[in-house]
Structure 1
Amino acid sequence: MAVTLVTSVASSSARFHLRSFSSSPSPLSSSFLRFQLPPRFRLALAVTPLYHSSRAMAHTLAQATLGLTQANSIDHPKVTFAAKDVDVTEWKGDILAVGVTEKDMAKDVNSKFQNPILSKLDAHLGGLLADVSSEEDFSGKPGQSTVLRLPGLGSKRVGLIGLGKSASSPSAFQSLGEAVAAAAKASQASSVAVVLASSESNESKLTSASAIASGTVLGLFEDSRYKSESKKPSLKSVDIIGFGTGPELEKKLKYAEDVSYGVIFGRELVNSPANVLTPAVLAEEASNLASMYSDVMTANILNEEQCKELKMGSYLAVAAASANPPRFIHLVYKPSSGPVKTKLALVGKGLTFDSGGYNIKTGPGCLIELMKFDMGGSAAVLGAAKAIGQIKPPGVEVHFIVAACENMISGTGMRPGDVLTASNGKTIEVNNTDAEGRLTLADALVYACNQGVDKVVDLATLTGACIVALGNSMAGIYTPSDELAKEVIAASERSGEKLWRMPMEESYWEMMKSGVADMVNTGGRAGGSITAALFLKQFVDEKVEWMHIDMAGPVWNEKKKAATGFGVATLVEWVQNNSSS
């Protein structure tokens, strides 16, 4: 009966972004057995010979159809950005949004704005802007905003958006863009202009305009694929006023747009539930990227047997308990012309769900209900792949690598005390099945180094210890290379994402020694994020510059109950900086 049930659903299909991934029915059908053999033999065959194929058929059962959930098709907001030099009082549209610092809000003894732009606007409004800002106690602090519908200007509404004491970081201008998006959604505006009350240097203007554009696109995005109803944003155009004009600025705005859609793709991957986004579906999404950018990108997806041939015992042990088979994802970006000067690898942890295995996640704070985000590292890598395929940086080859699987519980799963052999020959005693991410990354890092790359960056939602150390808005980075640390930190500062370098304390390796194998996979609670990084280091070629990013904290926004897309922007910026452009 169990065989009949499995066979009957074997042709069900799974969808992600409304793309179908169908499985074929088993040729060994239960109906054939039922009508050709006597009952005694039918029972024996159902229990014994078919047992070995039941796991394969169970894969079909579990593939992204559980709960009959499929993602709705939604259109991402398409906003046109244009740099203009026009008088703010003459601009015509729905909302004129003015970014102001606390200093910009200073007034003279007559309660008039001292800032020239605010003074000019207020003169056309008969002093109403100054009056309202006083009545609402608007002082330009970060997070403050007020939008007024007032006559007297070409725009229907005027908004003041606080930037804090000074606006010097990309994250501040990205927040400005997000506030603009929020105001546009609230008033169903289709056209918006953004201007700063205080002017900036020409170099800063490029960065600021790019961050505003990025914030606007990301602020408009709402992942409603799994809701029965959704509202489409009405914003169509954003004019950037006072930032200059010309091809350089237009290129920056286009770059911001490309990166933002990579971030959105990463968010969608993390937001998707584990009954929809299985390892096979994640691999299909990667293959779709390669097809989309076929002029510069190729895909190689390895199945379980191919991974066995490569002796990936550490990775396959994690996947062994799941009904959903693992998929090892390898995308390669190569520029369509010109020489390659640098080869990079981006490796992302790809646990589409993590139960903890036999060390099952239990109790308050275990976050088992959020373990769909345990593939946040792979989402960052694939989001970066999407953006890089669009931007096409010259002179750099990039390998995007994900060992995708689920960490579940079954009679075929790894047990505490098991000894695993990784693809570089090193042995690992499993003392905690919930420290599975590093086991998958071990073989992924060996594979990455075998591609002949110069530098490797891996990203993973690896340890709760890193959240304890750095909180939810900052990722920890580990690397023996000071030069690589400078590169990636500089990229993060330009992207607005927060990283903090942590120590690679070699003396802590004593905690990772095993009595029966080369190492254990966890070293206890003390310094847990550090010992995890030291573990990963054992699988990196000494000739390759390597960095590990523990992004367990910033992968998820608890307030919004949604993925952040963390890591995409920094990775793209780092790749761009290693290119010859």
Structure 2
Amino acid sequence: MDFQLKTLTVARAAAEKSDVLIVLVGSAPIGAKDPLSARIASARKAGDLPDKAGKLLALYHPDEVAASRVVLAAIGDGKPESVRTGVLAAVNAAKAQGPKRVVMVFAHEADGAAVASAVAAAADASYVYTTTKSKASNGEGGRSIRQLVLGVADAAAVTQAFGEARATVSGIELAKEWGNRPGNHCTPTLLADAAKELGRLPRIKCEVLGPKDVQKLGMGSFAAVAQGSAEPLRFIVLRYQGGPKDQAPVVLVGKGITFDTGGVSLKPAAEMDEMKFDMCGAASVLGTFRALGEIQPAINVVGLVPACENMNDGRALKPGDVVTSMSGQTIEVLNTDAEGRLILCDALTYAKRYEPAAVIDIATLTGACVVALGGVRSGLFTSDDALAAALQAAGEASQDRCWRLPLDDEYAEGLKSNFADVANVAGRAGGAITAAKFLQRFAGDFAWAHLDIAGTAWKSGAAKGATGRPVGLLVNYLMARARGTSAAAPSPSKSARKTGSSAAARKARSVQ
């Protein structure tokens, strides 16, 4: 969608040519005396437009408006959450008529956060996946709204927030696109090609490693997961250089299982089609880089994506097999459906070479996290309080929220093995935490956080599809770091570094 920002009052918006005019009405009194503002005030006084966010009142061919249809949308207190609720309701109502150009105006002053929320909600409500649909079923390209003009009292005051929101939406929609693609349209090779396209953006470079490269690096754990598939693995390395060369980068690691059968530990047939979404962590890394390429912040970021399928053939990994990770640690594979951690651990070891300021891995890792948090918040795991605070703040600001879960050492007891340094599963109890404890073994040399997005990366049922999360959270976090407004720079504790170095020496919807 083409988003535009204009300085508009309600009266000026009423004169704009459009198919639909949406007016976002807060609970504060309306001081303007133009005909449309007067009509809005009358509707509120009569109780036809309650203040509750999301309530709507539709007008057809009002004399004082150029648009044939007007939707008045309540946004309550005008906070970002309320704006999102109002915009989602209004755009969903408006798009039923197939409008091409929509004008949306705030009836009151709006700050940058409200504007960003409006842009994100409008994009979310109007998004349509069309890649693998025929032109006949697409209609005119799926999304009917071609242009949305957002009117505010002072466009100059919110230009930066608007630009960053528009770029973030581009990243979210890229993540949705690749998350929604079926497994045969999103192989590791095709995902790598998408990453290469990002290399065309300013300050972004892409490198793709194949099976032989991964073997030379000693990524035995990653390679073992891929060995049962006819599709060759890909290890994607993205670099965004926006800061000084000597600035330590933030490293994002995205789980890229482009289809997950569970391997020999086969998943139930019901809803197995949704395992195409098991690469949404990887998609969020690509989406974040898309946003970075447009915003161009002064920060260095590295993206690492281990991409492969988890399939069955005569060479597939078996329960009880022992594999050797890039770190040198051996892993007993008790469940082949716990493969995500097996590819991530090698990527985390690879991340060490960048001497990172922080490493964040993003993965549709455990059904246990869905049980714990549902589809509202992503699970956050880290032993670094500053990093936790920064990510939680970014989640709140972007309305892409997470919730911190514990990492007590006692949770690692179940990962002990008689036949290897560590087992890849520890039973059902606390499954999201024990998975994080497994990954923590490979992240002892840097500040690290793990985001389990198994419950938030996609929706099931009638609204089935990728959400693009947590691109919003990640972009907000990186922008805060670039501005120096995030929590204090995280740093691993001495005990964490010591643990890491010694370790290196020696779903039906259960997403693993």
Out of 146, 155, 159, the position equivalent to 2:57 is 146
Q: Which amino acid aligns with 1:185?
A: K
Percent identity at matched positions? 35
Q: For residues 253 and 553 of structure 1, do their structure 2 counterparts lie closer, same or farther at Cα, with a shift above 3 Å needed?
A: same
- Superposed displacement of residue 88, structure 1: 5.5
Task: Give the corresponding residue for 1:250.
Answer: 159
Structure 1's 363 and 278: CA in aligned 2 closer, same or farther, altered over 3 A?
A: closer
The answer as to 2:275 corresponding to 1:275 is: no
* Corresponding position of 1:555: 457
Q: 1:376-404 deviations in whole A, cap 9, x for unaligned?
A: 1000001101111111111x211100100
Instruction: Tell me the SS of whatever aligns to 2:346.
Output: helix
Structure 1 residue 124 displacement after superposition: 4.9
Asked whether the equivalents of residues 533 and 548 of structure 1 are also in contact (C-alpha less than 8 Å), the reply is yes
Of 255, 273, 277, the match for 1:373 = 277
Partner Cα distance (1:171, 1:280) in 2: 38
Cα separation, 2, equivalents of 1:126 and 1:216: 25
Paired residue secondary structure (1:458): strand
Q: Distance in 1 between matches of 2:314 and 2:301?
A: 39
**RMSD over equivalenced CA pairs, Å:** 2.4
Q: Which residue, out of 158, 175, 180, partners 1:266?
A: 175
C-alpha separation between the residues in 2 aligned to 1:126 and 1:492? 35
- Kept in 2: contact 1:82–1:238 (CA 8 A): no
Distance 1:242 1:479 in 2: 40
2:253 alignment partner, SS class: strand
Q: What CA distance in whole angstroms lies between the structure 2 residues aligned with 1:393 and 1:128? A: 44
Displacement of 1:579 in angstroms is 1.6
The alpha carbon displacement at 1:213 in A equals 1.7
Write the letter of the residue equivalent to 2:219. Answer: M
SS of structure 1 residue aligned to 2:239: strand
CA distance in 2, matches of 1:456, 1:89: 46
Is contact 2:55-2:86 (8 Å) kept? no
Aligned residues: 477
Cα gap change, 1:125 to 1:535, in 2 (>3 Å)? closer
CA offset at residue 569 of structure 1?
1.2
Contact 2:263 2:336 in 1 (8 A): yes
| In structure 1, distance between residues paired with 2:438 and 2:220 | 16
Report which of the two structures shows the higher radius of gyration computed on alpha carbons: 1
Change over 3 Å in CA distance of 1:423–1:122 after alignment to 2: closer
Residue of structure 2 in register with 1:355 after alignment: 261
Could you tell me which amino acid in structure 1 is paired with residue 24 of structure 2? G
Q: Structure 2: where are the runs of 5+ without partners?
A: 485-512
Is 1:430 equivalent to 2:333 in the alignment? yes
Q: What is aligned with 1:67?
A: none
Aligned to 2:421: 518
Q: Report the more deviating stretch, 555-564 or 469-478.
A: 555-564
Structure 1 counterpart of 2:295, one-letter code: I
Q: Is the 8 A contact 1:315 1:403 kept in 2?
A: yes
Cα gap change, 1:284/1:191 in structure 2, threshold over 3 Å: closer, same or farther? closer
Distance 1:327 1:197, change over 3 A: same
Could you tell me whether the CA contact under 8 Å between 1:81 and 1:213 is conserved in 2? Answer: no
Q: Secondary structure at the match of 2:463?
A: coil
Say which of 305, 321, 325 aligns to 2:228: 321
| CA–CA separation in structure 2 for the residues paired with 1:327 and 1:180 | 42
Contact 1:81 1:237 in 2 (8 A): no
Which runs of no fewer than 5 residues in structure 1 stay unpaired?
Answer: 1-76, 105-113
Give the whole-Å Cα distance in 1 for the aligned partners of 2:213 and 2:3. Answer: 43
The change in CA–CA distance for 1:508 and 1:88 in structure 2 (over 3 A counts) is same
Q: Cα–Cα, structure 1 residues 124 and 521, in superposed 2: closer, same or farther, change >3 Å?
A: closer
After TM superposition, the structure 1 stretch with the greater mean CA deviation from structure 2, 427-436 or 141-150, is: 141-150
Quote the offset at 1:119 in angstroms.
9.6
Deviation track 1:82-123 (CA, whole Å, cap 9, x = no partner) reads 23346357533333322245x56xxxxxxxxx6546996364
From the superposition, tell whether residues 523 and 338 of structure 1 become closer, same or farther in structure 2 (CA, over 3 Å). Answer: closer
Q: Deviations over 1:135-159 (max 9, x none)?
A: xxx5343443232214231243321
Task: Tell me which residue corresponds to 2:113.
Answer: 207
**Superposition TM-score, scaled by structure 1 size:** 0.77
Q: State the Cα distance separating 1:509 from its structure 2 match.
A: 0.9
Matched, 1:345 2:251: yes
Aligned positions of 1:82-121 closer than 5 A: 82-85=6-9, 87=11, 90-94=14-18, 95-100=20-25, 103=27, 115-116=30-31, 121=36
**Alpha-carbon contact 1:83-1:249 (below 8 Å) kept:** no
Match of 2:448 in 1: 546
| Bigger mean CA deviation after superposition, 560-569 or 82-91 | 82-91
Distance in 2 (CA, whole Å) between partners of 1:427 and 1:573 is: 37
Residue 331 in 1 paired to residue 258 in 2?
Answer: no
Residue 447 of structure 2 aligns with an amino acid whose one-letter code is: E
- Counterparts in 2 of 1:363 and 1:151: CA distance versus 1, 3 Å: closer
